[in-house]
Amino acid sequence: MKKEFILPKTLEELWEARAVHPRGALLAGGTDLLVRIRAGRADSQALISLDRIPDLRGISTGDGEIFIGPATTHQQLLDDYSVQKHLPLLRQSVEVLGSPQVRHMGTLGGNICTASPAGDTLPALYVLGARLDLRSPQGCRTVPIKEFIEGPGKTVLRKDEILSGIRVPMPDPGFRAGYHKVGQRKAMAIAVVSMACQVWINDHGTVGRIRLGWGSVGPTVKTLPEVEKFLEGRPLSLEVLREAGQMVSKGVTPIDDVRAGAAYRRLVAGRILLRLLDLLRKEVF
C-alpha cells in the first residue's frame, strides 16, 4: 500500500502526474491533509506536491487586483508589502492562524480548499470579494469564493481542477479593517467565532460602506447583507452596534461541538460587533 510521491516542477508535469494518479491528493503545506490522513479521515494513493511549481507561488499586483499563488505560505503573505499595504484584513487573519510553524508551512490555497467553517482566511476573503482561478489541463474558470465553497470540506472544484490563483480586488482606499477571532485560548486556537470587517467611514462619522463576514457560525462563512445595510448610514455607536448585534445573533446558524455550544457562538457573533468601536481608533488604509 505504498504511496507514491511526485514533486512536479511545472504545471505540465502536474497535469501529467494527475493523469497517472487520478486518486492522488494535492499536497500544499500538508498541515491539513497530513493531519487528516493520520487520523484516517483522508486517503490517497499518491501525494502530489505543489511546493515546487513557481507558477503557483508568489504575489503580484496589477489590474486593480492582487494575485496570490495558492501555494504561497501564510508567512509569505505576512512578509509581503502589497498585502500589508492593501489587504490588512487578510494579513490580520493570517497573523492569528495556527502557530508560527503552521504559518511557515500552510498555504492560502490549502486554507481555502480545506473549506473549514473555522478557516481563518475565509471570512476575510469573502469580505474582500476574492475570486478564484480553477484550472485544469482543459482551461481555466474563475469563480467568486462564495460560490466556490459549498459546505464544510466541500467545494465546486472538479476532479481534474486545481485552485491556481486567488484574485483579490484592491479595496478602495480610506477603509479600516479588523479580524476578530475568539478561540479557546490566545494562540494556536481554532476559531470558535470569528468576524472579518472592512469599513469605510464617511466624513460625518457614519458608515459609508461596510462588509462583514463571520466564521464558525455556520457551515460556511456567514455574510449578512441586512446587517451591512442597517449599519450603512449610521454611526458606529454602542447602541447601533448592540442593535446590529442582535440581528447577527438571529442570523447565524451555529452548531454545538466539543469546542463551544451553539448558544455561545450565537451570542458572541453578535457581541463581537462591539469590537468595531475600537476600529474607529485604528489606522485608515
Partner 1 sequence: MKIHFRLNGSDIAIETDPCRRVVDILREDLGLTGTKESCGSGECGACTILVDGESRLSCLMVAGQISGRKITTIEGLVSQGEMHPVQKAFVDHGAVQCGFCTPGMVLAAVDLLRRNPHPGRQEIRRGLSGNICRCTGYQKIVDAVEAASRDTGDKE
Partner 2 sequence: MENQIPVIGRSQPRFDAKAKVSGTERYAADYYPPGMLWGAVKYSDHAHARLKKVDTSGAKEVPGVVAVLTCEDVAGANRVGIPPRPDQPVLADEKVRHRGDPVALVLAESKEALAAALDLISIDYEVLPAVFDSQEALMPGAPLVHSENENNILHKGKILKGSAKEALKECAAVVEATFRLPRQEHAYLETEAGVAWVEEDGTLVMIVSTQTPHRDRMEVAHALGLPPGRVRIMAPYLGGGFGGKDGISVQCFLGLGALHSGGRPVKIWNSREDSFLSSTKRHPATVTIKLGCGADGALQALCCRLFLDTGAYASLGGPVLTLALEHAGGVYRIPHVDIEGYCVYTNNPVSGAFRGFGATQALAALEQAVDMLAVKAGLDPLVFRLKNALRRGEESACGPLRTYSTGIASCLKTIMDHPLWLEVRSWEKDAPPFKRRGVGVAAVLQGVGYGPVVPDYANAKIELLEDGRIRVYSGVTDMGQGNASTYLQIAGDILSQRFGDMEAVQPDTARTLPSGSSSASRTTFTYGNALIKAAGLLRERILQRASLMLMGAAYTELALLPGRVRHIPSGRDLPLGLIASMLDSSEKVCVYSYVAPVARDIAGIDENFRNMGYPHLIFSYGAHLARIEIDEITGEVTVKSYLACTDAGRVLNPQAYEQQVHGGIVQSLGYTLFEDFQVQKGEILTTGLATYILPTAVDVPDLLSIAVQEEEENGPYGMKGLGEVCANATFPAVANAAARAAGRRIFEGPLTAERILEVLAEEHKGE
26: amino acid identity, one letter: L
Tell me how far apart the alpha carbons of residues 250 and 121 are, in angstroms, rounded to a whole number.
24
Question: Can you tell me which of 42, 143, 170, 188 binds partner 1, judged by CB under 8 A?
Answer: 188
Cα gap 208→199, rounded to integer Å:
7
Q: Which helix (H) or strand (E) holds 226?
A: helix 225-231
State yes or no: residue 260 binds partner 2 (CB under 8 A).
Answer: yes
Shortest gap between Cβ of 130 and partner 2 (angstroms)? 27
* Rounded Cα–Cα distance for residues 4 and 47 (Å): 6
Contact 130, 163 (CB under 8 A): no
For ligand FAD, the closer CB: 218 or 245: 218
CB 42 within 8 A of CB 153: no
Candidates 30, 129, 152, 235: give the one binding partner 1 (CB under 8 A): 30
- Chain residues 72-111 in contact with ligand FAD, contact rule CB under 6 A: 97-99, 102, 105-107, 109-111
Applying CB under 8 A, does 39 fall inside the site for partner 1?
yes
Interaction between residue 274 and partner 1 (CB under 8 A): no
End-to-end Cα separation, the chain, in angstroms: 53
Chain residues in the site for partner 2 (CB under 8 A):
1, 182, 184-190, 192-193, 258-261, 264, 267-268, 271-272, 274-275, 277
Chain residues in the site for partner 1 (CB under 8 A):
2-7, 27, 30-31, 34-35, 38-39, 47, 49, 51, 75, 98-102, 104-105, 186-188
